Homo-oligomer: A and B are copies of this chain.
Amino acid sequence: MAQRRVTLADVAERAGLSTTAASRVLNGREGTRLSEDARQRVLAAAKELGYRPNPAARSLRLNKTATIALISDTVVTTRFAGAMIRGALNAARERDHVVLITETQGDPDIERDAIDAMLHRQVDGVIYAAMSSRRITVPPQLLTLPTVLLNATSNRRLPAVLPAEEEAAYAVTSAVLDRGHRNVAVLGRNEAYERDAHLSLAAKLRMQGIRKALADHGHRLAASEYTEDWDVPGGFDGMTALLRRPNRPTAVICMNDRLAVGAYNAASEAGLSIPADLSVVSFDDDPIAEALRPGLTTAALPHEAMGQLAAELVLDANPEPGIRWVPMPLRERSSVAPPAG
């Protein structure tokens, strides 16, 4: 077992040629023409022997590794992350590359080490990903090799892949407006997020899309409720407050699905039924959205497509800098109905 690896020399010998010739054939070098006969012999020999070039030797020679790095703050750990990784993996495999994954956990020391390690390993490019979409500062070392931002933007002229939040917000809002709702509230307002792109890109873009849809339909926001965090308790408290207001909304746009879960709970506790008494729409398509009863209509974060695109961009010759907005499909389930009465 563990038989000796077959090397280029083996292939050459079997083909009755030099390693030079074998190398040229196998790499499809155009400059120098070998006889068709020689070509075939090399190809045959390589096939019979099951030859595969030694990547270490290759990269020592070429300074290339057929490897890309996926560096993220803590992406890997999110429920959404899997899809991003899968997308990147698929794109990489299609181009015969493999993917090295690192997590920096937001720690600058770990990050520096991680990036250094990747650079020393001579990865051919890096995908620098953020868990939640936001504006980041790109470590300068990354500027020396092909880098693509995933779920993030920066001050640098780099390609970046982001979910088309504004467009999605427009669609989500329209879904509710088109059913005849006029008294529409937003749950999860947070000025800090909306103002600071370093905290969140989604908050601002989603609000813009919502406002634009309302304006285009000739309406305005009936109410909006602050929430410190976009989580279940926040949603519960916020929705409870919203329901206590005079003239309570007939539809609520939640800034994400976890808020929506809280909103569901609050509605249920208030004896309101969804969607009969209250329509709910949201963002993310968290796995939870499907498990809710009734199923939650929400705009899905297109993580797999994003991961895929990011990997493709990294492996592109030289991609244009700038943002790629990846569409967020609207998953229509059962949480929207026309307003009562």
Contacts and interface: CB of A to CB of B under 8 A. Distances in A.
Interface stretch (A75-83, A191-199, A213-221): A75-83
Please indicate which of the listed interface residues A56, A99, A101, A293 has the most CB atoms of chain B within 10 Å of its own CB: A56
Contact of A57 (B60, B85, B291): B60
Contact of A103 (B57, B81, B89, B287): B89
A67 B56 CA distance: 12
A98 B247 CA distance: 58
A83 B59 CA distance: 32
As for how many copies of this chain the complex holds, the number is 2
Contacts of A20: none
A52 B115 CA distance: 13
Given A288-B291, A293-B265, A117 B98 contact: yes
B101 A99 contact: yes
Nearest to A59: B56
B79 A83 contact: no
Contact of A82 (B52, B56, B82): B82
A138 interface: no
A99 B98 contact: no
Interface of A: 1-2, 52, 54-57, 59-60, 65, 67, 76-79, 81-83, 85-86, 89, 93, 98-103, 110, 114, 116-118, 120-122, 144, 232, 258, 261, 265, 268, 287-288, 290-291, 293
